[in-house]
Amino acid sequence: MAKRRYLEMLLVGIIAKALEAVASNSQQGTLCKIAALDGSAPPINNCHVDIEFQYSVVWLTRIRLDDPQLPPRPVQDYIFLSEVAKLQFLEDTKVLAPHIYAYALKSTPEYQVGTSFILMEKRAGKPLDWSQTTMEQRTRAMDQLADIFLELEKYPFSRTGFLILSSGLSLQVNVGGFAQVACFKTPRQTLCSFDTLEAAYSAIIDRQIWLLATNEVSSLRLENYLSFLWRLQGLPELIAKSASRTSPFHLKHFDGEKGDHILVDGNHNIATIIDWCDKGWSSIYFNNFQWPVCDFHRGSNRLTKEELRFDLANIVRGSHQWQRYLLSLGADFPRDMSEFEPLVEGLRETFSK
């Protein structure tokens, strides 16, 4: 509620007028207004607000909220621009992702909006709810996802990391350092890109071990420290079974626990894929949104009927191992034993099979 009140205060002031001006200029002077908040979900780090134009055109504004608990401004800016880079990269592909009309950092002087923002296309669709779909609808979704994976394979990278915008007027997209908070050594220095998966994951784990050893992170210090040491020891075995040890690497969407990053239309055709922020690894493995979230967090690795029916059993078993292994790499640490124990036991079980 506090963040919602903060956002409402933000939007009724100069930020609302400035955003409306930017949007209007990007749409050849067409008048627009910021829609009222619908209250459907409380904002966390980002908030989405509709901008309504005349002639029934609607854009989406992604606003980065200020929060004293967020990392320093240079870190926030790097992560924000990495999201922009991913969306701009996808515009040159056939992947259904939102088009960007304008963006700016909080520090951009010519806009005076007061916060980082992206003006993007708003695509119709509702989040894919795998548990409420029929077998025919699931088959259609899997077929279309396969086409998306095949499309992304057409755009290989020689290194693994995060997409960034290169400096200069061309604004080309390249692979750069990791845009994850835990990977930053200083506000302006993050882990670089790597040419092998083992080098990348080893560096990330070493960084997280250092954060725990120096008390930069205090959540379950001993337990998390030992779990990352165990991950480091098990990495060569995991890499040896991977088909993507070295280049080429490909962009993938990491947020696959629930499938709510996939929006579908009334016929359950994929309309768009959203929320590419913070999670765009340039590496490959099958991230399985068919895996029930409750099973994942309970530590269960059982295959669902759909995973078996689609003849994906061997692929999915490997993806379960990768998905568990990468869960905390560069991200939040488990904060209590009720969360920590089933996740670690689930990971250990995948190595024992």
> What are the residue ranges spanned by the domains of the chain?
2-126, 127-351
Convert the chain into a string of H (helix), E (strand) and C (coil). CHHHHHHHHHHHCHHHHHHHHHHHHHCCCCCEEECCCCCCCCCCCEEEEEEEEHHHCEEEEEEECCCCCCCCHHHHHHHHHHHHHHHHHHCCCCCCCCCEEEEECCCCCCCCCCCCEEEEECCCCEECCHHHCCHHHHHHHHHHHHHHHHHHCCCCECCECEEEECCCCCCCEEEECCCCHHHEEECCEECCCECEHHHHHHHHHHHHHHHHHCCCCCCCHHHHHHHHHHHHHHHHHHHHCCCCCECCECCCCCCCCCCCCEEECCCCCEEEECCCCCCCCCCCCCCCCCCCHHHHHHCCCCCCHHHHHCCCHHHHHHHHHHHHHCCCCCCCCCCCHHHHHHHHHHHHHHHCC
Of 85, 68, 74, the C-alpha closest to 107 is 74
Q: pTM (2 decimals)?
A: 0.83
Q: Which residue has the tokens 């990468």?
A: 326
What is the pLDDT, as a whole number, of residue 139?
86
Beta strands 173-176; 162-165: pairing state: antiparallel
Q: Length of the chain, please? A: 353
What is the pLDDT, as a whole number, of residue 330?
77
Dist. CA 61–CA 52, nearest whole Å: 10
Q: 34, 16 in Cβ contact below 8 A?
A: yes
Residues 19-32 pLDDT 10s = 899 999 999 999 99
**Virtual CA dihedral for 83, 88, 92, 94, nearest 10 degrees?**
50
Angle between helices 197-213 and 221-240 (to 10 degrees): 170
Residue bearing the bigger pLDDT, 190 or 304: 190
Give the tokens for residue 173: 């997209």
Residue bearing the bigger pLDDT, 110 or 156: 156
Write the CATH number of the domain with boundaries 2-126. Answer: 3.30.200.20
Q: Residue 91 pLDDT more than 60? A: yes
Mean pLDDT lowest for which of 105-119, 284-298, 339-353?
Answer: 284-298
Residues 42-55 pLDDT 10s = 445 677 889 999 88
Percent of the chain with pLDDT over 90: 31
Residues 29-85 pLDDT 10s = 999 988 865 545 444 567 788 999 988 899 999 887 766 667 888 998 998 999 899
Of 319, 318, 261, 310, the C-alpha closest to 287 is 319
* 27 contacts: CB under 8 Å, gap ≥ 6: 53, 57, 59, 101
What is the pLDDT, as a whole number, of residue 11?
61
Between 3.90.1200, 3.30.70, 1.10.3470, 3.55.40, what CATH number should domain 127-351 receive? 3.90.1200
Does 127-351 match 2-126 at the fold level? no
Residues 333-347 pLDDT 10s = 888 999 899 888 988
What is the pLDDT, as a whole number, of residue 300?
53
Residues 318-338 pLDDT 10s = 567 887 888 778 777 888 999
Q: 263, 274 in Cβ contact below 8 A?
A: yes
Residues 224-266 pLDDT 10s = 999 999 999 999 988 887 766 777 888 876 555 556 678 899 8
Residues 131-140 pLDDT 10s = 888 889 888 8
Average pLDDT, the chain: 80
What is the pLDDT, as a whole number, of residue 311?
43
* 29 contacts: CB under 8 Å, gap ≥ 6: none
Q: Residue 316 pLDDT more than 50? A: no
Q: Residue 167 pLDDT more than 50? A: yes
Beta bridge partners of 170: none
Q: Which residue has the tokens 């080309």?
A: 172
pLDDT band for position 171 (cuts 50, 70, 90):
low
**Mean pLDDT, residues 102-106:** 91
* CB crowding 47-74: b at 16 or more within 10 Å, else e: bbbbbeeeeeeebbbbbbbbeeeeeeee
What is the pLDDT, as a whole number, of residue 288?
46
Asked whether the CA dihedral 178, 289, 94, 264 is positive or negative, the reply is negative
What is the pLDDT, as a whole number, of residue 18?
87
Q: Residue 204 pLDDT more than 90? A: yes
What is the pLDDT, as a whole number, of residue 6?
62
